[in-house]
Structure 1
């Protein structure tokens, strides 16, 4: 079985108490995400009419340095 890496960007959607939940899990070359949405800091939907733009924004937000 391939090792898994749980991805939880610091300060992003922090829940208390700590739940057994990760924003994403990397397993080998695959990354599995959970219910991500494309929101800016004001909680406005990014690229509201562009599904490709929403996917890009949601993924970029979760994996930025």
Structure 2
């Protein structure tokens, strides 16, 4: 495994742990920018999502 792959895997683990913490705090699925709900389909594809589609487009993340 290359260094880049290890970094990517580490980043994904951190994102997933953050998502689990959000579940524990009851704020999972809430956009970090506008505080609106993130649509279910987005969360199914990217469970670690922190922004809704509108905000992600505006922020160019």
Give the TM-score, by structure 2 length. 0.30
Report the structure, 1 or 2, having the larger strand content. 1
Report the structure, 1 or 2, having the larger helix content. 2
Give the TM-score, by structure 1 length. 0.29
